[in-house]
Structures are given as structure tokens and as C-alpha cells.
Amino acid sequence: MDEQTLRNQVVIVTGASRGIGAETAIAFGNAGARVILAARTTSDVEAVARRIRENGGEALAVTVDVTQSKQVERLVCSAVEHHGQIDILVNNAGQGKFGKVAEFELASWSTVIESNLTSLFLCSKYVLEPMLSRKSGQIINVLSVAATTSFSATGAYCAAKAGALALTRVLSEEVRKENIRVTAVIPGATHTSFWDGMDQHPDFDQMLKPSHVAEAILSVAKQPLGMVVEEIKVAPPLGIL
């Protein structure tokens, strides 16, 4: 199969300061892509960008809260100013907060919905302008098995990821005729700092590694132009943990 080369492709990865996003940014960097790493913690996102540059890759770190419209607009503008185009957006940033509906605070609800769903809307909206004008691009959304499977005490997270899956499918319909491909990557439990501070969690040894999810994202990005992988589920061998 004629895989797409990632060399010189301009890729924005959100939530690139650690976990799945950091592994994905590093993997794109190693593949020769020009990577723009976005997250809120400047020192962490710069450290990952530095690692890519030390490996001989090209990386730019941008401090951005992807729930904030103006900051996302600035992120996209600086990527276009720097590289002239955006080939791939990986919408990966997201936070989990858990609790039963009866006890859940509105502030936690808003954090989860905004970081997992509103962010996906904002980043997609702003990258679409340069992508539509070139009639070329790829948007890869990192969702979760929580988009389609319900667990107790995960109301906000399941609602956000189910909404994000619906938005991914709508977006796909809206832009497929413009030669823009949209993919939902649906990972199962992955051993990252996502689980920090949670009293109850599955066995870390049985979870995916962030590099597994990064590999799935890169395989989607490399698919030939004549096809689109619309949804891809990546699970630990034991499935839902």
C-alpha cells in the first residue's frame, strides 16, 4: 500500500505536554513531521518539544488552553505564520473528573465538557479555515471507549466523549467533499497521568501504553489519500478493564 509520508507534514498535537499527546508528538517528530505542540503547562510542553529537536526533529511549543477561543485562534495563526499550512490536527487534549451525578459539581462538569468537547469544536473550527482553502487536511480526534460504553460515576466524561464522537461524525460529513479526512481514534484504558489521584482504577500493568495509542494515530495519518479510516478502536488485550 502507498503510505503517505509524514516528512515535512505540519501537525498540531493538542495535549502534547505528557501522556498520549507527548508520545504522539514525539512519534510525528521522529517521522520527519514539523510538529506544533500545544498544552497549558509551558515548561512541560517545551520539554517535549526540546526532546523532539534533540532527536533531530522540528518542533514548536505553544502554551494554549484549548477551551479558550482566542487562544486557539492564536495557536492556528502562529502555526500558519510559521509553516504556511496545517496538514494534520490531532485533537488529543482532555481531562477526566469522575463522580456520581447526584454528587458531581457543576464546575467539574464544565471542565470535562469544555476540555474534551468544546476544545474539539474550537480547534477543528479554526484549522478548517486554512484546510478548506487548500482543500486538504486531516483531523484525528482522540476519544475513548467511554464514548460508547457507560460506567458508573463517569457521567460528564461519557457525555463529553459521546458528544465528541457525534461531532466527529458530523464534521466528517461536512468536509469529506472538500478532501478533508476526519477520524475518531477510540482508545481503551492507557497508563498515563490521566489516572493520577484516582483511588480506584484498573491495573496499570494491564493498560495500553501511550506509545500504543500514538502508533495507532500515526498509522491513521499515514493512510493513502484515496481512503479514510473513519473510526479505529485500540484496546488492551483484556478489552474494557
Instruction: Please state, in angstroms and as integers, the Cα–Cα distance from residue 159 to each residue in 116, 120, 153, following that order.
Output: 10, 14, 11
Per CB under 6 A, the list member of 12, 36, 39, 76 interacting with ligand NAP is: 39
For ligand NAP, give the closer residue by CB, 70 or 135. 70
Please, what is the angle between helix 19-30 and helix 210-221, to 10°?
50
Half-sphere exposure of 194 (CA within 13 A, CB side): 28
Chain residue at closest Cβ approach to ligand NAP: 19
Kindly tell me which of 134 and 201 has the beta carbon lying closer to ligand NAP. Answer: 201
Q: Quote the distance between the C-alpha of residue 202 and its chain's center.
A: 22
Which whole-number Å values give the CA distances from 132 to 4, 22, 71, 220, 226, in the listed order? 20, 27, 21, 20, 18
Least distance (Å) between residue 193 CB and ligand NAP: 4
Q: How many residues bind ligand NAP (CB under 6 A)?
A: 31
State which of residues 21, 29, 155, 236 lies at the interface with ligand NAP (CB under 6 A): 21
- Shortest CB 209 distance to ligand NAP, Å: 10
Q: Please say which residue, 4 or 219, places its beta carbon nearer to ligand NAP.
A: 219
CA distances from 218 to 4, 23, 29 (A): 10, 11, 11
- Interface residues with ligand NAP (CB under 6 A) are 14-21, 39-41, 44, 64-67, 92-95, 115-116, 142, 144, 187, 189-190, 192-194, 210
